[in-house]
Amino acid sequence: MKIELKASTLNIKSKEEAFNFSRAAARVCYSKYDFDTLYNEDSKVLTEQLLNSGHHSPFEHVALTLYLIDIPKIGAMILNNEPSYVTSEKSARYTTMNLEGREKELYEKWIPIFEKLISGKYPSIENDRVKKLAKENARNLTSVFTPTKMLYTTSFRQLNYLMSLFDDYIEKYKNCTEIFYQNITNFMKEFNNELKDFREERLNPFSKKRFLRLFNKTKCYEVFSSVYSTNYEASFSYLAQAQRHRTINYSMKLLDEFKFFVPRILEDDELISMWNEDMNSLRDNYPQGMYISINESGTYFDFISKITERICGHAQLEIMRVSKELLKKYIYGSKDVAPEIHDILLQYDKGPKCTFPNIMCQSVCPFTSKLALDRVV
């Protein structure tokens, strides 16, 4: 993995420059001088006071935009699960993945199969969309450690918080022999090494009781009220999409048995059997279609924001179907404990996004509102 600094606040390129900007930001709170005057002051005393006291918010003002090359997909998921950030990641839906060995063989085998099935089932869908949908399904065969690339923007403080959290995770799993956790710690070591010049160990999250959110092992209970928490099984591919709703919290753990997503377009028993065989042959690679246990929690209005994007004919099939199932679960669970929330959610249970209240969709649905929820791709 290689990480390049592509942009930053005031073109900051070093830890010392980040300190200067952050110190000036802190001085704004109680100084009569304007920011430019404060920025040009020559004083390191306040910086030391801020770092040693645990008053870290001024270091949030410095934004760093990093280009991560050959980051494993699970690494991108870890970063995309930690607020706050902005990310632009290579899409396995719109681009062809660069693979090797058995994964490459199966990925290239299934793309034309899916293209034929999709164009046969939905002849009105244009060819470009057919190709996109074929790649979307075939990527479930690719490993969650498949290299990808992304542009990632976060703050100087958050970057240091991440490095501390990664060190903590590496220490906890240093004696673990399971390849999944070994590969994750290898990613974290590379990440920290690439960014060591920006490291400031006094900027750490532990005084703030922060932890790495994706791998929370605490037992999570279900509740459906003005806030909600729910547990379900879905694929890595699903989680990578779902966690982009940054106001919602997600955590995961591996299942004890190997289960995986089976594309609904595979209606033929022979094709389903072939898919099962191919997925099982890749189980040690942790394919993106592999099911995991997921906890999702947030507020009801953040949930509405999520389903407004995901219960839609344009959304990927698995996340659309899971989101619809969660909506029904939320409606049922809130009926007695939160009747007002129950009544609000009922407005969203009449069909896909285009039937939601106060929605004027500008996109032409490839399936029409009638077929959007019943489609198989």
CA–chain centroid gap for 177, Å, is: 26
In a domain, 175, yes or no: yes
CATH code for the domain of 62: 3.30.1360.170
Residues forming a β-bridge with 252? 294
| pTM of the complete model | 0.93
pLDDT confidence of residue 217:
75
Compute how many other C-beta atoms are within 10 angstroms of the C-beta atom of residue 308: 15
Query: CA 190, 196, 79: angle at the middle one, nearest 5?
Result: 55
pLDDT tens-digit profile of 295-321?
A: 999 999 999 999 999 999 989 999 999
323 and 190 together in one domain: no
Look at residues 188, 211, 234 and tell me which one is the last residue of a structural domain: 211
pLDDT confidence of residue 307:
96
What is the rounded CA–CA span in Å between residue 233 and residue 214?
Answer: 15
173 and 312 together in one domain: no
Question: What are the Cα distances from residue 265, in Å, to 119, 128, 181, 323?
Answer: 11, 18, 33, 19
pLDDT confidence of residue 343:
98
225 and 310 together in one domain: yes
Look at residues 111, 141, 171 and tell me which one is the last residue of a structural domain: 141
268 and 363 together in one domain: yes
pLDDT confidence of residue 225:
97
In a domain, 377, yes or no: no
pLDDT confidence of residue 41:
82
Q: What percent of the chain has pLDDT over 90?
A: 77
Q: Does the pLDDT of residue 45 top 90, yes or no?
A: no
162 and 131 together in one domain: no
pLDDT confidence of residue 295:
96
pLDDT confidence of residue 10:
95
Q: How many CA atoms lie within 13 A of 226 on its CB side?
A: 1
Q: Does the pLDDT of residue 83 top 90, yes or no?
A: no
pLDDT confidence of 38, banded at 50, 70, 90? Answer: confident
What value does the mean pLDDT of the chain take? 93
pLDDT tens-digit profile of 242-294?
A: 998 888 999 999 999 999 999 999 999 999 999 999 999 999 999 999 999 99
Which domain covers residue 74, as residue numbers? 2-90+146-211
86 and 169 together in one domain: yes
In a domain, 43, yes or no: yes
Q: Which two tokens stand for residue 185?
A: 């710690």
In a domain, 95, yes or no: no
288 and 366 together in one domain: yes
Sheet of 2-8: strand order equals 2-8, 63-72, 147-155, 86-89
Ramachandran sector of residue 32 (left: φ over 0; alpha: ψ -120 to 50; beta: rest): alpha
Q: Does the pLDDT of residue 14 top 80, yes or no?
A: yes
223 and 120 together in one domain: no
Look at residues 173, 188, 211 and tell me which one is the last residue of a structural domain: 211
235 and 361 together in one domain: yes
pLDDT tens-digit profile of 120-148?
A: 999 999 999 999 999 999 999 999 999 99
Query: Looking at residues 70-95, what average pLDDT do you find?
Result: 88
Nearest by Cα to 259 from 296, 294, 210, 209: 294
pLDDT confidence of residue 81:
94
pLDDT tens-digit profile of 220-241?
A: 899 999 999 999 999 999 999 9
pLDDT tens-digit profile of 329-360?
A: 999 999 999 999 999 999 999 999 989 998 88
In a domain, 161, yes or no: yes
What is the rounded CA–CA span in Å between residue 7 and residue 65?
Answer: 5
Q: Please state the domain count of the chain.
A: 3
Contact 362, 314 (CB under 8 A): no
170 and 306 together in one domain: no
313 and 238 together in one domain: yes
202 and 350 together in one domain: no
**In sequence order, what DSSP letters do the residues of 161-216 get, joined into one string?**
HHHHHHHHHHHHTTT---HHHHHHHHHHHHHHHHTGGG--TTS-SGGGT---GGG-
Question: What are the Cα distances from residue 100, in Å, to 103, 106, 107, 179, 363?
Answer: 6, 10, 10, 19, 37
What is the rounded CA–CA span in Å between residue 299 and residue 227?
Answer: 4
